[in-house]
Amino acid sequence: MQRRAGKSTVPIVLPEQFGADHERLLLFIEGICVSDRGYPDPRSMSCNQARHPERATSLTPPWKDAYSTKLTDGTAVPGHDDWDSAEDLIAAGLVQWCGTGAQPRFELTDAGWARAHELRRARAKRGLRS
């Protein structure tokens, strides 16, 4: 299955393929839900300008494939950025898009809050910062 954004397509990533990049983004969204009412700072999210020109800022670095989302098996999805990962989290039922196209705002679902809690707890057990 493919999604359409910008001028190119990338596959939808299934929850069983979510790696550290999806987990990091879920925890980022959890943090902004707690501290910023769910409004992301676009400078804090990777953005492939060719796919999401409306999300790019003047400070967005030129896209490099090295920025592409990594999956659990270590492979990367070329061109897949944090905005695509947010769509994956939405499709997985972990996140809701509650803002407008011009003013994105995220909320976690009950399943998203539970998953974020699991991730933080696992990180705490390993002694990692989140």
CATH (domain of 58): 1.10.10
Task: Give pLDDT, residue 127.
Answer: 79
Looking at the predicted structure, is the pLDDT value of residue 126 above 70? yes
Answer yes or no: is 57 within a domain.
yes
Q: Is residue 47 part of a domain?
A: yes
Q: Is residue 84 part of a domain?
A: yes
pLDDT of residue 100: 84
Whether residue 9 lies inside any domain: the answer is: no
Quick: pLDDT tens for 90-121. Answer: 999 999 999 888 889 999 999 999 999 999 99
Domain count, the chain: 1
17 within domain boundaries: no
Main-chain dihedrals φ then ψ at residue 118, nearest 5 degrees: -60, -45
Q: Which domain holds residue 84?
A: 34-126
Residue 8 falls inside a structural domain: no
Q: Tens digit of pLDDT for each residue in 51-68?
A: 999 999 888 999 999 999
Amino acid 129: pLDDT: 58
Q: How confident is the model at residue 2 (pLDDT cuts 50, 70, 90)?
A: very low
In a domain? residue 90? yes
pTM: 0.88
pLDDT tens digits for range 6-17: 445 677 899 999
Q: Is residue 100 part of a domain?
A: yes
Task: Specify the amino acid at residue 37.
Answer: R
